[in-house]
Structure 1
Amino acid sequence: MSFRLSQRSRARLTGVHPDLVAVVEAAIRRTEVDFMVTEGLRDPARQAALVKAGASRTLNSRHLTGHAVDVAALVEGQVRWDWPLYGRIAEAFKAAGRDLSIPLTWGGDWKRLRDGPHFELDRRAYP
């Protein structure tokens, strides 16, 4: 099954690093679980609001530089937050990154504050 990014998801990729956009576009074509992009580039005010709300722990997010995206799983057109769905989406992102030789970090692999919807370009290759 092949999915496509919606216009809304594409709009949310505005300002995101082109390499990460390429990974998102490749991942949507190979994923078994449909997804939408919920956030890409953020301004400092949005990041501060997320920290204040407890949804983020840093004012130095990779979203501020366009090096990160968040996605939401879609099942029958409805957003779902079930953890196993994000592992399946991550498989598609990681495979796309390998195919394109673009190193990624998945928030679901973090030891603290695991973040299944979050994908970012690896800091070692994209400081």
Structure 2
Amino acid sequence: MTYRLSQRSRDRMKGVHPDLVAVVERAIQITGIDFTITEGLRTPARQKELVKAGASRTQNSRHLTGHAVDIAAWVDGTVRWDWPLYPKIAAAFKQAAKELNTPIIWGGDWPRLRDGPHFELDRKAYP
């Protein structure tokens, strides 16, 4: 089955780097699990709120510069947070990034504080 991004997901990517948007667009075409964009570009105030709430540990988030997006698995019309869904979605993101020659980092690969919904452009290529 081929999925497509909703207008709400597209709106949430406003201000996100075009190379990352292209990866998201390709990933939705090849994923086996539908997903929605929950957040893209953040304001410093929003980032501060997330740190205070414990949802983020840094004030230096890639979201602040439009170099990151967060997604949620969308299954049968419902957001799902089950961990086994996210590596499957990540595989589509990684394949899309490879096809587009756009290096990305998946938060699920981090050794500490794994973040399955998080994808960002690699700082080495996108400082």
TM tier, smaller: over 0.9
Partner of 2:53: 53
Give secondary structure in 2 for the equivalent of 1:64. Answer: helix
Partner of 2:7: 7
Partner of 2:73: 73
1:84 and 1:102 map into 2 onto residues whose CA distance is 25
Letter in 1 for 2:69: V
Give secondary structure in 1 for the equivalent of 2:14. Answer: coil
1:16-95 → structure 2 map (5 Å cutoff): 16-95=16-95
Letter in 2 for 1:126: Y
Tell me, yes or no, if structure 1 residue 112 matches structure 2 residue 78.
no
Shift of 1:67: 0.1
TM-score by length of 2: 1.00
Deviation per residue, 1:44-103 (Å, 9 max, x gap): 000000000000000000000000000000111100000010000000000000000000
Letter in 1 for 2:19: D
Give secondary structure in 1 for the equivalent of 2:79. Answer: strand
Tell me, yes or no, if structure 1 residue 100 matches structure 2 residue 100.
yes
Letter in 2 for 1:4: R
Give secondary structure in 1 for the equivalent of 2:84. Answer: helix
RMSD of aligned C-alpha atoms? 0.3
The number of aligned residues is: 127
Give secondary structure in 2 for the equivalent of 1:69. Answer: strand
Runs of 5+ unmatched residues, structure 2: none
Shift of 1:122: 0.4
Shift of 1:104: 0.3
Letter in 2 for 1:31: T
Letter in 2 for 1:117: P
TM-score by length of 1: 1.00
